[in-house]
Structure 1
Amino acid sequence: MDFDYNGGNTTNTNKRVFNRLGGGQSANDASNHNHLQQNQKVCFHWRAGRCNRFPCPFLHRELSAPPTHAAVNGGVGAKRGFVGNDSSSSSFSGRRGNNGNNSNYSNSWGRFGNKGDGRGVRGGSVEKVCTYWVQGHCNRGDTCRFLHSWSLGDGFSLLTQLEGHQKVISGIALPSGSDKLYTGSKDETVRVWDCQSGQCMGVINLGGEVGCMISEGPWIFVGTPNVVKAWNTQTNTDLSLTGPVGQVYTLVVGNDLLFAGTQDGSILVWKFNAATYNFEPAASLNDHKMAVVSLVVGANRLYSGSMDHSIKVWSLETLQCVQTLKDHTSVVMSLLCWEQFLLSCSLDQTIKVWAATESGNLEVTYTHKEEHVGYAVPVIHFSLNFNLWI
């Protein structure tokens, strides 16, 4: 993955973040690569997703394979930064596997990668996800030379394929303490699966397309047109939260509040009342001009992405908008909080990394441009069937 630096006063910030994430080496430093790798360790807390040290003395990336001869001598691989060339490993764990000389190396996640011997690649030749499979209509099946999976490698093995939905699966939930898996679909149903047998235990007809689904503790929340369904899997409580206008596209829980992004551009907020065992309306956030399609909570903030091309930052304490980010030029499809960074992905074919300045406002630190929209937006794509992996 190649990133473009933004100019201006962010040069030092760019360099600090780039180095922390394990950026590329200069040609002069490449000869010391092996020695450095032997003395540096991957941060245990970073692997667990909770490192809060800055700067951290340990690596915030998986150790890569030794560079090739070309990279040591200042070749292309030494200058690419986050992603190496075909004969070197990726600096991001699992983003791309190696495909050449380092055949003994395999990344820890196995995403898209293999061990250089063609295993896990359909046809044994191309490490690329099939675009037709992503769109749900590849008719080549096992003969397709491209990948028909997002996650491959020795760390995953297929348990079973769950079949039954008639349209795209738009949400998956595994409530805490439950042995049941819940899947929601555009076919207007939620299916309940037994995690031990893989059998469908029941079908719930909702009368409207499932726009999203999340679980929080024993609760399952399902977004449908004009209503949010709330089910407690331990008490069998069944609630309908009214107020949304149009489809509910996204849900998130934070600061003991439930947030729902809706088709009319509103973000509806509910707070749980333990006395009445019900969710009561708490607020309606109405700054967006078009549908809200992505929500994420982090650093005591709510971030919302919309079809109006903007990202809004909300205080979880006051529920007031504290900043509006307008760098995207199309729908903001996905948001992710990672350490002190916000990542946003848009149909404008860019992934942007945001970091806070001294003033506390977010500014773009990196922009990654993709040629293919499907790869630029890491929204989970589901087929009509769902596979169980371990």
Structure 2
Amino acid sequence: MDAEGGRRVFNRLGPSSSSHNGSNNNDKQQKVCFHWRQGKCTRYPCAFLHSELPTSSSNGKRAHQEFGAEDNYRGGGGGLRRSGIYASGKSNNTWGRVQSQQPVTSSYRTVVKKIEKLCNHWVQGSCKFGDNCKYLHQWSTGDCFTLLAPLEGHQQAVTGIAFPSGSDKLYTGSQDETLKVWDCQSGQLAGEVNVGGAVGCMLSEGPWVFVGLTNLVKAWNIQTPTELSLNGPVGQVYSLVVGNGLLFAGTQDGTILAWKFNVAANCFEPAASLTGHTLAVVTLVVGGNRMYSGSMDHSIKVWNLDTLQCIQTLAGHTDVVMSVLCWDQFLLSASLDKTVKIWVATETGNLEVTYTHTEEHGLLTLCGMLDSEGKPVLLCSCNDNSIRAYDLPSFSERGKILGKIEVRSIQIGPGGLFFTGEGSGQVRVWKWSAEATATS
């Protein structure tokens, strides 16, 4: 194999004079390919030459010709590199290259152009191309993820995952109106509850597992046989969070409801109703003495947990704010407008955008964790059926998880474990190649 003009060039024998009747036919076959000269011939092998006509050898025969195969595709093994929060602010995307070469005959090779997309036939176990398939035959790229097990059972999208601290059970909720309990040792289904409605979100806090339903929040105490119903929401409950001793629920009508647990009465009592959003509240997060709410009205509101008053409205996104996350002194927000925005407090105390990371597709959820060296990693689920893992603050890509359908929920577990819930109903158990711990 020779290198010529930045191309990979593979040798093949040109047609010999003995293979044709007469020299005129032979000369006709020795024409230079017109499309090759323009750099766009797609015929492999091509009947015409992919090189300029050579000079005759001393014995009067044509010299061997060369067959060019351009290697200018993007592969899945490299990483997308983006300048970070503290860098110049300009995006510079560079992908690594992956190539798969398979001998076709003893005289030349062909290059399989890998497309960073999951092979549907491979997923179904019926791909006949094997290593020669141009699509990916793997569930992840990079070397930081290992798929441990798929958990089958839900019939519709998994919209909530909870892993209570100190428990050996994983709880998953779905739009199929079921709450499933999985044994973490065996990976088998240990229990199932029909909750009577589509699950919009889940949260575990202490001994409690909370499930957001339509017009209702249900609470189970996993240490005692206690089941409670929290009334008050109007429409679907999309998000739940605990802060300052209160349970908050973001609802379909744009209201954020709060309850406080009464130990003596063993019940949750209504504490407050926070209004301000004009459309559904789909994401909540607590950081310090602040709560941040993202909404379908494209805004983020900042709430003081002491006074339960809105102290600032952030209007940087142009579509639904799907997820908010606190990291260090930063607020991260993801939207269907294809951006992740990084907010930082100014000297006046107000939050302003300090960096914007752009994806090719809308974002569905964010999840943060620390790797074995204590470095923060951001998991971004996109609606192209992938999860991107980025180092912070550089936004250098660590790897990608691919799925049959989009991932709606991500939950961190102990010892480098994390769980993903897909729109297909499947839950997958993953492990980082190095031990990792959860971050806020």
Under TM normalisation by the shorter chain, which class is it? 0.5 to 0.7
Correspondences of 1:82-231 after superposition (within 5 Å) = 85-86=94-95, 99=97, 126=114, 128=116, 130=118, 138=120, 140-141=122-123, 143=127, 145-146=135-136, 149=139, 156-231=145-220
- The AA in structure 2 aligned to 1:86 is W
User: Is 1:250 equivalent to 2:249 in the alignment?
Assistant: no
Whole-Å Cα distance in 1 between the matches of residues 157 and 315 of structure 2?
Answer: 31
1:375 deviates by 7.8
Determine the structure 1 residue equivalent to 2:429: 388
The answer for unaligned runs of 5 or more in structure 2 is 1-79, 102-110, 128-132, 367-379, 382-406, 409-421, 432-440
Conservation of the 8 A alpha-carbon contact between 1:349 and 1:376: no
- The AA in structure 2 aligned to 1:385 is Q
- SS of match in other structure, 2:233: coil
Change (3 A) 1:302 1:129: farther
Change (3 A) 1:370 1:86: closer
Conservation of the 8 A alpha-carbon contact between 2:82 and 2:93: no
Determine the structure 2 residue equivalent to 1:342: 331
- The AA in structure 2 aligned to 1:175 is P
Which is bigger in relative contact order (C-alpha 8 A, separation at least 6)?
A: 2
Conservation of the 8 A alpha-carbon contact between 1:343 and 1:351: yes
More helix by share: 1
Whole-Å Cα distance in 1 between the matches of residues 170 and 100 of structure 2?
Answer: 35
Conservation of the 8 A alpha-carbon contact between 1:271 and 1:280: yes
Whole-Å Cα distance in 2 between the matches of residues 325 and 3 of structure 1?
Answer: 24
Conservation of the 8 A alpha-carbon contact between 1:334 and 1:346: yes
| 1:152-182 deviation digits (Å, cap 9, x = unpaired) | 5555443332111111111111112221111
Change (3 A) 1:324 1:182: same
1:211 deviates by 0.4
Conservation of the 8 A alpha-carbon contact between 1:295 and 1:304: yes
- SS of match in other structure, 2:248: strand
TM-score (norm 1): 0.65
1:125 deviates by 7.0
1:369 deviates by 2.8
Determine the structure 2 residue equivalent to 1:306: 295
Whole-Å Cα distance in 2 between the matches of residues 148 and 209 of structure 1?
Answer: 32
**Seq. identity, %:** 59
Whole-Å Cα distance in 2 between the matches of residues 280 and 376 of structure 1?
Answer: 30
Change (3 A) 1:318 1:197: same
1:348 deviates by 1.7
Structure showing greater radius of gyration is 2
Whole-Å Cα distance in 2 between the matches of residues 296 and 324 of structure 1?
Answer: 15
Change (3 A) 1:319 1:370: same
Whole-Å Cα distance in 2 between the matches of residues 155 and 347 of structure 1?
Answer: 27
Whole-Å Cα distance in 1 between the matches of residues 203 and 116 of structure 2?
Answer: 29
- SS of match in other structure, 1:247: strand
Aligned pair count reads 283
User: Is 1:282 equivalent to 2:291 in the alignment?
Assistant: no
- The AA in structure 1 aligned to 2:332 is L
Whole-Å Cα distance in 1 between the matches of residues 331 and 112 of structure 2?
Answer: 37
Greater than 4 Å deviation, 4+ residue runs: 1-4, 80-84, 123-127, 151-156, 374-377
- SS of match in other structure, 1:197: coil
RMSD: 3.0
Conservation of the 8 A alpha-carbon contact between 1:271 and 1:282: yes
Whole-Å Cα distance in 2 between the matches of residues 180 and 240 of structure 1?
Answer: 22
Whole-Å Cα distance in 2 between the matches of residues 272 and 321 of structure 1?
Answer: 23
